[in-house]
């Protein structure tokens, strides 16, 4: 049976096809729901008495139930998503061809800059105190887990290794899940085609999880509206001030990472002029800022490094796609600041061991975060879970996510560019003559228009849909394996 759409029917009947309706995208819906939630919440805090039926049936009734459903949907994703994405990330790193001269150094630099990024965010947030003055514990009561409060350093180290991975998944013990997933991923990467079926399973299951995130995000505007309205009906104006302070802390952290960490790293490794370097990568940063996607920025970043900075294509074509997959310093900064923000807002004291756990989980979250918009905030649920912070905090942050996502993606891709330049210099594959040429324009207009912003989580990678391995999707690395023969 053929299905004709309205436009085709209208054309057949000789009428002019109606203009396709412009639909509002998800990001706009989330922003609208955030703004509406704040307005409704503050209006309720000013004019609705706490013992009225509106408070009982709407704010603490419907809003509460819908908000909790949304939070549970997100929590439902955490363990399978984290497990799968870390297995896939680790498998891609252990490809023997990649781990040559450049590979190990690049991975070490990527992980170190990310750890430094979380550290900077945690320290800055201790000064700006974004969550002080907000009393979220009045709205949601949380039982702090042992990990958040009194676990000693020795306990934390011992508990990294699970005694039973099924129990770790059941309890949501993130460090143990990560530990197992990293080992599994590395082994899968090393065995490659010999375990093609298992490799394919994880790649495809990862893609299924990305679709599931897409589904949960479709209901996010409703969930966010309910959560924010209920939150702000208790917090009033203080809530807005705290959100502003949190955004300020994240952007301050991003600036420190860019101007201090990256510029020092660049200067120490390469002696190149940092100002000139920044001017050359500015179009890359702006492109990442406007698309919020490291994956979509891969071609422009590679071209810029090759044609303007002088990096050998052999280096950039390996380090940039790898960086877009495993190196997310901006995302880590948001996560570090978010931990302090939410811990302060809920009145939870974090022990030193808990802060170390945050650094480790944020670094591994960065390996597991896909370079598409918004995934960093979903992975935040894993960081929160590792130290027993409530998922309600993730929902609060999700409301302002796009604002943060733009800035953190710009830093994510700059981190990839800086580490790539350093590695190119260290391995003698940097042509300084190219760098000295003062041309600051974007590489070519084509690179800017060719890659569209991923429409949603369906476009899991810039190179194709991994659910369609080998057929217009990701190349099938395991295509020529021999099928096992069962005798």
Query: Given the rule CB under 6 A, which residues bind ligand ASP?
Result: 292-294, 328, 331, 369, 371-376, 405, 408-409, 412
User: E-strand spans in 75-223?
Assistant: none
Give the separation between CA 52 and CA 55, rounded to whole angstroms. 5
Least distance from ligand ASP to the Cβ atom of residue 120, Å: 16
In order of 4, 130, 134, 404, 453, the CA distances from 290 in angstroms are 36, 26, 31, 12, 9
SS3 at position 311: strand
What is the Cα–Cα distance from 86 to 297, expressed in whole angstroms? 22
Positive or negative torsion for Cα 342, 347, 351, 352: positive
| Smallest separation, CB 291 to ligand ASP (Å) | 8
Q: Which is nearer to ligand ASP, 402 or 477 (CB)?
A: 402
User: Closest approach of Cβ 11 to ligand ASP, in Å?
Assistant: 40
| Tokens describing residue 221 | 């505007």
CB of 370: closest distance to ligand ASP in angstroms?
7
- Residue 307 CB, shortest distance to ligand ASP, in Å, is 23
Measured from the CB atom, is 225 or 457 closer to ligand ASP? 457
Nearest CB to ligand ASP, comparing residues 68 and 114: 114
Which one, 25 or 273, has the nearer CB to ligand ASP?
25
> What gap in Å lies between CA 195 and CA 183, rounded to an integer?
15
Spatial CA neighbour of 71 closest among 398, 354, 365:
398
Closer to ligand ASP by CB, 239 or 393: give it: 393
HSE (side-chain half, CA atoms, 13 Å) at 395: 32
Nearer CB in complex with ligand ASP: 142/398: 398
Name which of 249 and 294 has its Cβ closer to ligand ASP. 294
Give the torsion sign (CA, 370, 253, 421, 95). negative
- How far apart (Å, rounded) are the C-alpha atoms in residues 115 and 360? 7
∠ CA 443-111-176, rounded to 5°: 135
Q: How far apart are CA 243 and CA 341, in angstroms?
A: 9
Smallest distance from the beta carbon of 114 to ligand ASP, in angstroms?
12
* Least gap, CB of 425 to ligand ASP (angstroms): 24
Q: How far is the CB of 292 from ligand ASP (least distance, A)?
A: 5
Which CB atom, from 147 or from 420, has the smaller least distance to ligand ASP?
Answer: 420
Residue tagged 């984290």 (tokens): 82
In whole angstroms, how close is the CB of 138 to ligand ASP at the nearest point? 30
CA distance 425 to 423: 5
Residue nearest to ligand ASP (CB): 376
d(CA 299, CA 238): 43
Q: How far apart are CA 195 and CA 388, in angstroms?
A: 36
Nearer of residues 130 and 376 to ligand ASP, judged by Cβ: 376
**Which letter does DSSP use for residue 89 in this model?**
H
* Closest by CA position to 322, among listed 26, 89, 69, 21: 89
């Amino acid at each position: 049976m053929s299905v004709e759409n309205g436009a085709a029917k209208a054309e057949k009947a000789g009428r002019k096809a109606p203009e396709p309706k412009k639909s509002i995208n998800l990001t706009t819906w989330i922003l609208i729901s955030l703004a509406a939630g704040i307005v409704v919440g503050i209006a309720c805090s000013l004019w609705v008495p706490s013992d009225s039926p509106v408070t009982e049936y709407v704010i603490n009734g419907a809003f509460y139930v819908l908000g909790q459903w949304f939070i549970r949907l997100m929590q439902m994703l955490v363990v399978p998503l984290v497990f799968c994405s870390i297995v896939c990330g680790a498998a891609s790193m252990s490809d023997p061809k990649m781990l040559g001269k450049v590979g190990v150094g690049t991975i070490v630099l990527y992980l170190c800059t990310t750890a430094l990024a979380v550290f900077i965010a945690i320290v800055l947030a201790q000064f700006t105190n974004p969550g002080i003055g907000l009393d979220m514990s009045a709205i949601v009561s949380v039982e702090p887990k042992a990990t958040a409060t009194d676990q000693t350093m020795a306990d934390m180290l011992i508990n990294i290794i699970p005694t039973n991975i099924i129990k770790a998944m059941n309890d949501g013990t993130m460090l143990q899940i990560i530990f197992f997933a990293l080992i599994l991923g590395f082994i899968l990467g090393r065995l490659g085609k010999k375990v093609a079926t298992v490799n394919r399973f994880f790649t495809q299951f990862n893609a299924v999880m990305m679709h599931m995130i897409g589904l949960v995000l479709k209901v996010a505007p409703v969930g966010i509206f309910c959560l924010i309205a209920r939150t702000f009906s208790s917090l009033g104006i203080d809530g807005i001030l705290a959100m502003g302070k949190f955004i300020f802390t994240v952007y301050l952290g991003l600036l420190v990472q860019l101007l201090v960490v990256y510029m020092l790293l660049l200067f120490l490794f390469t002696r190149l002029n940092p100002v000139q370097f920044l001017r050359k990568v500015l179009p890359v940063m702006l492109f990442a800022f406007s698309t919020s996607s490291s994956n979509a920025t891969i071609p422009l970043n590679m071209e810029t490094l090759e044609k303007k900075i002088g990096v050998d294509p052999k280096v950039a074509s390996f380090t940039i796609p790898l960086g877009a997959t495993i190196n997310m310093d901006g995302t880590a900064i948001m996560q570090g600041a978010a931990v302090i923000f939410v811990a302060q807002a809920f009145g939870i004291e974090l022990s030193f061991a808990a802060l170390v756990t945050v650094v480790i989980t944020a670094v591994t979250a960065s390996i597991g975060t896909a370079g598409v918009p918004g995934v960093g905030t979903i992975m935040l649920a894993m960081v929160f879970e590792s130290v027993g912070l409530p998922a309600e905090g993730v929902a609060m942050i999700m409301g302002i996510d796009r604002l943060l996502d733009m800035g953190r993606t710009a830093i994510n891709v700059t981190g990839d560019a800086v580490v790539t330049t350093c590695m190119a210099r260290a391995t003698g594959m940097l042509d300084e003559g190219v760098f000295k040429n003062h041309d600051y324009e974007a590489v070519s207009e084509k690179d800017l228009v060719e890659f569209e912003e991923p429409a949603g989580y369906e476009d899991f990678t810039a190179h194709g849909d991994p659910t369609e391995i080998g057929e217009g999707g990701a190349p099938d690395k395991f295509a020529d394996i021999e099928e096992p023969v069962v005798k």
